[in-house]
Every structure is written in structure tokens, then in C-alpha cells.
Structure 1
């Protein structure tokens, strides 16, 4: 089975799961709504029977004691629905299932009558020569709760889906982080052995009177590889931050890359101060600067001006890396920091993703695209706390 088929089956499974969940949810809402409607009809019948019983008891007709008891049971049998019986001038004759605190407060009673009138039109009872009376009522507490049940159910399901998605996404990201950390540490371990041998060969070249300048450059590159190995070994570990001079570390990294990048690129380095000491992991921070400088050089196709500027405020230090390349659309400002995203034909698209993690997770700082334009290039800023 090829990759396309697996992807297609996975998407089909997701859609099937979505449809099944939607059907279950729809059936639950429909059933609860049907139950609420049935209860509403029962309550409507109950209140109509109450009104009829009051009318019969107030009429001139003579009933047997059994019938009278039955009618009285109807008028007093309501234990759930709030009911008010008012005469023609608005005086309250009877109350059922109304809290005492409301009965003792005329304002609350007036508001209750208005609310009942809005919910249901009052039922008129004609008592002949005794005038008319009116039955005001509202839904029982159970029916009110049932009417809100679908809304609460929707809210609960949305919360459940959201937290399930968040949990599985976090779990997946954690697994990926452990995988990348393991691969990085294993890579560092595998590279370490031949690097030690290369350092030995450099000393042999010195003893054999090889070109000192060439040997020095080889040694620099080997030390650089050692730094890269150290960076890989630190991925996934707790960062060790020590007070270091950010200006010196940044300038050293830029100078090293300047000697190894196209001569058609003009480097400009400027800092407001010669020394700015902040908590840093030197190996990881220099990796970030290296990634930003290399990306800037690639964006300019190895020709143009590359500027590194360090500004200092009371609470933060900002390192700005700017190029004169072709820029990028605003929709990519955040995407370039996503794992696997790259516009290059080679590479894994992990450089800026790792840079973001180093700055934000390890150093508790910020890294972002400050501006980008096809005419003036791109500027990325790193903001670190002192």
C-alpha cells in the first residue's frame, strides 16, 4: 500500500469518525428535545385541567362528594409548576409552588407575573356572576432544565473534543520531541569519535611542517564541528545558562561565518555597547545566530548586504539580522518557524524551528520576523531578557 493510499484511508477514517460522532450527538439532542416537548404537552394538559376544575368548583352545579374530591385533587395536585390565580382586578387568590420570599415581595411578584405572561398567555376562567379569573403559569424547573440541556450538551461535547485534540496533539509533539532528541544525541555520539581522531591528525600535520595557515583553518573547522556536536548533544536536556557577553559571542559567530560565506556579501556588524552580559547557553545561542546568518545569505543568493545589529534596553537585548534578499509574504511570517517548512530544494526545514525552541523554550525570549519586503529584504529579531 503506497503513501497516498494510507493518507486516503486515514482521512476516510477521520470522516467516518466525524459522521458517527455527529449522528450520536444529533440523536441525543433529538431525543432530549422530543422528551422536552412531551413534558411540555403534559404540563399544558395539567394546567388546562386545573383551570377547568377551578371553573367547575366555582359554578352553580352540584357535584357529589366524590367528584368534588376529585376536582379538589386536580387543583391541589400540582407540585412542580409555578401557578398564580388572579381575579379581574389583578388580586392574587391562589399561589402554587411559589417561593415565600417572592410571595412576600410585591415587586418580585409583579416581575413574576410579567414573566409568566410573556412565557404563556393566561388562561381565562369564566365564573358567571362571580366574574372572571385568570391562571398565570410558567414551565416547571425540570422542563426549563431540559430546554437548556441540548445547549449544555453541545458545550460539553465541544470541550471534550477540544481537550481530546489538545491532549493527543501534545502527546504526539512530545513523542516527536523525544525522537528528535534521541536522534540528535546519537548523531553527536557518532560524530564524536572521528572528530577526536581528526584532532590527532592535525597535530601530526604540525609536526610534519605542513602549511601552518592551512592547519590552523582545519583546526578551526574541527573545533566548529565539536561545537555542532555539543549542540546536538544538548537537545532535549535542561539548558545551562551562564552570564556571558552576548556581543562578543555574536560577533565571533558572525566573523567565523563571514570567512566561509560568499565574498559578494557585505557584512555589517554594529552594537550599542561593547559588552552586554546576560544568561546564555553559548553553544545553543551561537547556533541560532549561525542559522539566521546562513538563511539570510541564502535569501540573497550569496550577494548583497547582511546586517547584524544589537540594541540594549533596561530589560531586554535585541539582536537583529537583516538581509537585502527578495523577502517573503506576510502569511509566511509564522510558518517559517514550523518544523519541516522550507523554501529550499535541500535541507529538512528544522533550522528556524530549532532556533525558535532554543530562544523561546530555553532562554524564555522571543524570535520573530520584524519586517519583510521584496525590495528591502527580511529582518528577523531575537529578543532576550537580561
Structure 2
């Protein structure tokens, strides 16, 4: 989250501007709807007047033709004319079936609620009552604001996800650049350490000392290789998943507290999988270290390899405090961490390594107060 006050103010201004624009659109649409409804009312009053004049002067041929044109031009507004003798006449009805008296009564009731009926009078005498509904155009216009708001919402959603994706892409590039720069920076002192170690060997220093230095140098080279591969597609080769997992396991076992009980079990002796050696070892180390942190340095860590059809599953379990079910997916998001210290990048990198680079899957298989089981699924390589 960006806490920059300037950006926060800009967001508030943008939100207010959006609200004002939407309000103006709704107000304008409502005004247009009312005006259109008033014009339709005026049209119906003209029709009613023409009907009244026509009934009184039907013998005048020219006047009758004028009225006839008024009647013929009104083809969109549904109406029911109830004469003083109770007879009814319907016009502009979309229904294909013939309307019975009950249908007409229901329509009259509905039209009365939509529009005020027009009384047709002539010289103080009541001739008929006109009931009318909204035209098809007016009915469709009622849904225009909803459609407009939906379009605005969809447009805003597209823009939101576009900027969110762009921001995530920029962050990924930044992390990748930082990782590569870190690998580059480590490379210079690492080369010097190699040289100094060779000088120590020439000075007849205790071989055990130089041997341990070499191990640390190898470790630094491994770390450098890992960081250099972030942000670029690594090369995958066929490796034995059992052997690779056991190597990462043994390395961590030798360098972990004696209060941690390690166990390793595999239901297969050999299983070829396309892997990147450095990144896969990094994944196992991250999962094991997370388990150790969850147990606060004391408990059981178990690694088990199980065949599962065309896939092989690597399960890493611990006896830590567990993970809330609501956080099963969130723990893989960058920045998510339950530790007081930490960047929350370990599991997000693990997810990227497994799912993006190795086309596999990683998930929290189960978790409770007794511990957590993380599972990696990788496709078996068929040569």
C-alpha cells in the first residue's frame, strides 16, 4: 500500500470527481426521462382532444381527415379508451392474444398507476376516459442509467486491473533487478575469497580451515546463482527428485539445531523430474526454514516423497503452531508474513519457482495446531 500523502489526496480528488460525473449523468438521464414523459403526455392530450373533436364533427370530411392523421401517427403508446357507455377500445397493444375483459381491467389498473388518466370532455359532457402506458422507447429508457452505470463499473474494473497488473509487473521487475544486482555485487568479493583461500593453502594452513572456507565459498556461489536466475527463465534438466531433495535435506540437517528432529522418507528409489538444481534446493530450504521458524527452533521436520499418477508429490511437514485456513492462499502473496522480522518474500518466491518455472503446484495440504504440511507437485519426466 502506498502511504504517500500526495497520492492519497489525488485518489480522493479522483473519487470525488467520479462521483460528481456519475451524479451528473444520472441527473441528466432523469431530466431527459421526465421531459420525454411530459412530451408523451402532451401527445396523448392532443390525441384525446382529437378524439373529442372527431366525435363531435365526424360529418366534416376535412376535419375528420385531420383527426385521422393524428390517430394514425400515434403508433407507439399503448392505450385503452373507455367510453361513457362502458365500452372499451384498445390501441397499440403488443400482445398477440385477444384481450378479454379481465385483461383490459388489469391493464387499466396498471396504466392508472403509471400515468394519470385523461378525461375526454366536450362542452361539459364526459365522453370517455383515456388510459395509457409508457411507450417502448420510454420503457427502455428507464434501464438506461443502470446500463450506463454497469458500463462505467466494467470500464473502471478493467482500468483498475490494468493498473494493478502494471504495478505488479513493475514490482516484479524491481525485485528481479535487485536480485540480479545482489548477485553481481556478491560476485566481486567472492572472487577475492577464492584467491585468498588459494594463498592460505600455499601457506600450509591447517587443511580443515581451508576446507571449511571452501564450503562457505561454494555456498555463496550457490546463493549468487539463485539470485541471478530470478526474473529470467531458468534452464531445466532431468534430475532425480529423490536425490535432489535428499541433498537439500542433508545440508539443512547438518546446519540446524540439535533440537530439530529430521526425518526423510521416499516411497520411490528413483524418479526423474525436470528441475533447476539451484532453484529447487532453494525451495526445499525455504519450506524447511519456515517450518523451523513456526516451531520456534524445536520440533519435528519430515520430508516425504510420494508418487501420484503422472506426478510426484514432495511433502514437507512440521509440528509448528499451524496456519489459519483463511491464510492458506494469502501466505504465498508477496509481503505476507506472520513473523516480527521478515519481508514475506520466501513463499512467494517458492510459488513462482514451482508454478511458473517448473510448471508444478504448491499448496498447504493441511494445517492445525499440531503442525502444517506443505505439498509440492511436479510432473514426472518421461524421457
TM-score tier after normalising by the smaller chain length: 0.7 to 0.9
Structure-2 residue corresponding to 1:342:
337
Distance (whole Å) between structure 1 residues aligned to residue 168 and residue 11 of structure 2: 20
* Matched position secondary structure for 1:317: strand
Instruction: State the alpha-carbon separation in 2 of the partners of residues 354 and 379 from structure 1.
Output: 18
The one of 7, 10, 22 equivalent to 1:25 is 22
Partner of 2:306: 311
Distance 1:68 1:283 in 2: 96
Which moves more between the two structures, 316-325 or 331-340?
331-340
| Corresponding pairs, count | 373
Pick from 47, 50, 55: which aligns with 1:50?
Answer: 47
How far does the alpha carbon of each residue in 1:317-352 deviate from its partner, in whole angstroms, 9 at most, with x for none?
Answer: 221111112223333333322222333343322111
The Cα shift of 1:15 comes to 2.5
Name the residue aligned to 1:179: 174
Q: Is this contact kept in 2: 1:325–1:377, CA < 8 A?
A: yes
* Alpha-carbon distance in 2 for matches of 1:218, 1:117: 97
> What does 1:27-106 align with in structure 2 at a 5 Å threshold?
27-59=24-56, 61=57, 67-81=63-77, 96=92, 106=97
Return the offset for 1:48. Answer: 4.0
Rate the CA distance shift 1:214–1:372 in 2: closer, same or farther, 3 A.
farther
1:351 maps onto 2:378 in alignment: no
What is the CA distance between 1:361 and its match in structure 2?
A: 1.7
Query: What is the match of residue 375 of structure 2?
Result: 381
Residues 45, 118 of structure 2: 8 Å contact kept? no
- Give the corresponding residue for 1:11: 8
Aligned counterpart, 1:153: 148
2:376 and 2:99 map into 1 onto residues whose CA distance is 62
Q: Report the CA distance shift for 1:303/1:108 in structure 2 as closer, same or farther (over 3 A).
A: farther
- Pick which of 65-74 and 324-333 moved more: 65-74
The match for 2:266 is 271
Give 1:34 deviation, angstroms.
2.0
Match of 1:244 among 239, 247, 271: 239
Alpha-carbon distance in structure 2 between the residues aligned to 1:145 and 1:299: 60
Secondary structure class of the residue paired with 1:196: helix
* TM superposition shift of 1:354: 1.0
TM-score, with normalisation over the residues of structure 1? 0.83
| Distance in 1 of aligned mates of 2:198 and 2:248 | 25
Q: Kindly indicate whether the alpha-carbon contact (under 8 Å) linking 2:80 and 2:108 is maintained by their aligned counterparts in 1.
A: no
For residue 264 of structure 1, report the CA deviation from its aligned partner: 1.3
SS at match of 1:120: helix
Quote the residue 2:321 is aligned against: 326
Larger displacement relative to structure 2 (257-266 or 115-124):
115-124
Instruction: Determine helix, strand or coil for the equivalent of 2:143.
Output: helix
Q: Equivalences for 1:263-302 in 2 at 5 Å? A: 263-302=258-297
Q: 1:119 to 1:249 in 2, by over 3 A?
A: farther
Cα distance 1:115–1:211, how it changes in 2: closer, same or farther (>3 A)?
A: farther
Contact 1:113–1:136 (CA under 8 A) maintained in structure 2? no
CA shift, 1:270, in A, is 0.9
Going from structure 1 to structure 2, the CA distance change for 1:117 and 1:380 (only over 3 Å counts) comes to farther
For structure 1, the 5+ residue unaligned runs are none
Deviations 1:121-173 (A, max 9, x none): 59799999xxx988675533322231111010111011011111101111111
Per-residue displacement from partner, 1:99-121 (whole Å, max 9, x unpaired)? 8xx7xx547999x9899667525
Deviation at 1:37, TM superposition (A): 2.2
Match of 1:193 among 188, 191, 196: 188
CA distance in 1, matches of 2:211, 2:328: 40
Runs of 5+ unmatched residues, structure 2:
none
Relative to the length of structure 2, the TM-score reads 0.83
